[in-house]
């Protein structure tokens, strides 16, 4: 997965328990479409950017459908968790459109801006296989360990580590399930971007 910002070099991965929660929510809401397919959740926190890839990999196929989302965040505003939620919503909206159209979609293959509640959100579709991508990086001598931001690297790393801790609260039974968007034509919002779960009108897939 490639970040959008040129300044995004090193990153901290989403906490494992948080990535597991995201995967569980997608599996629950898209169960009728997944069958034996694998979901690949890749989330990274850069110094100014949140990047999320949700991959859909069908057994026996090399290509992997990737729904990628990027947003800026501010360490000063401490809005990283909200931005991650926005990214999850957008990736799910892309996946829903993908399944609704049986994989025939016109998603951008380069980072493309969409407005969302006064913020800028960026979407991209790709077909890279995450496992093959990791193997290729190894052959090129590029290891994830060399690019992951360590706590001792800088004060920014410490801030990111604190963000990681914030992202890992225990999930309670009272948490609301993820909800999927109504059809786009029912949306009265002025934004022309993807329909988000945080919009006015929602429906549950399960």
Q: Tens place of pLDDT for every residue, the chain, 206 residues?
A: 889 999 998 889 998 888 999 999 999 999 999 988 999 999 999 999 999 999 999 988 888 999 999 999 988 888 888 999 999 999 999 999 999 999 999 999 999 999 877 789 999 999 998 776 666 656 666 555 545 554 333 344 435 545 555 554 444 444 444 444 444 344 444 444 444 344 333 333 33
Rg of the chain on CA atoms, in Å = 17
pLDDT for the residue 115: 86
pTM over 0.95: no
Question: What residues does each domain of the chain span?
Answer: 12-203
Cα-based angle 107, 2, 164 (whole degrees, multiple of 5): 110
pLDDT for the residue 200: 36
Cβ pair 42, 53 in contact under 8 A = yes
pLDDT for the residue 93: 92
pLDDT for the residue 187: 44
Q: What share of the chain is helix, strand, coil (3-state, %, to 5)?
A: 35, 20, 45
Cβ pair 111, 118 in contact under 8 A = no
pLDDT for the residue 66: 96
């Amino acid at each position: 997965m490639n970040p959008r910002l040129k300044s995004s070099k090193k990153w901290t991965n989403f906490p494992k328990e948080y990535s597991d929660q995201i995967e569980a929510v997608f599996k629950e809401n898209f169960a009728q479409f997944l069958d034996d397919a694998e979901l690949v959740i890749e989330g990274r926190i850069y110094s100014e950017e949140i990047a999320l890839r949700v991959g859909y990999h069908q057994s026996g196929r090399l290509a992997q459908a990737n729904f990628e989302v990027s947003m800026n965040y501010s360490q000063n505003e401490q809005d990283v968790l909200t931005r991650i939620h926005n990214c999850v919503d957008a990736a799910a909206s892309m996946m829903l459109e993908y399944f609704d159209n049986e994989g025939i979609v016109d998603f951008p293959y380069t980072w493309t801006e969409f407005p969302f509640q006064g913020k800028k959100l960026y979407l991209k579709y790709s077909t890279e296989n995450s496992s093959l991508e990791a193997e290729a990086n190894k052959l090129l001598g590029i290891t994830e360990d060399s690019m992951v931001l360590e706590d001792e690297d800088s004060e920014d790393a410490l801030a990111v580590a604190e963000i990681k801790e914030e992202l890992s609260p225990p999930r309670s039974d009272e948490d609301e399930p993820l909800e999927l968007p109504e059809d786009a034509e029912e949306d009265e919002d002025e934004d022309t971007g993807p329909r988000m779960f945080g919009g006015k009108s929602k429906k549950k897939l399960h």
